[in-house]
Amino acid sequence: MYVLIDGLVLASFLPPAHNIFIRPLWRHYFQNTQGLIFVVDSNDRDRVVEARDELHRMLNEDELRDAVLLVFANKQDLPNAMNAAEITDKLGLHSLRQRHWYIQSTCATSGEGLYEGLDWLSNNIANKA
- On whether 66 is known to bind a ligand per the annotation, the reply is no
CB atoms within 10 A of CB 118: 16
- On whether 104 is known to bind a ligand per the annotation, the reply is no
Q: What is the secondary structure of 4-58 as a DSSP string? A: EETTEEEEE---HHHHHHHHHHHHHHHTT--EEEEEEETT-GGGHHHHHHHHHHH
- On whether 75 is known to bind a ligand per the annotation, the reply is yes
- On whether 127 is known to bind a ligand per the annotation, the reply is no
Residues annotated in a binding site: 74-77
Residues annotated in a binding site for GTP: 74-77
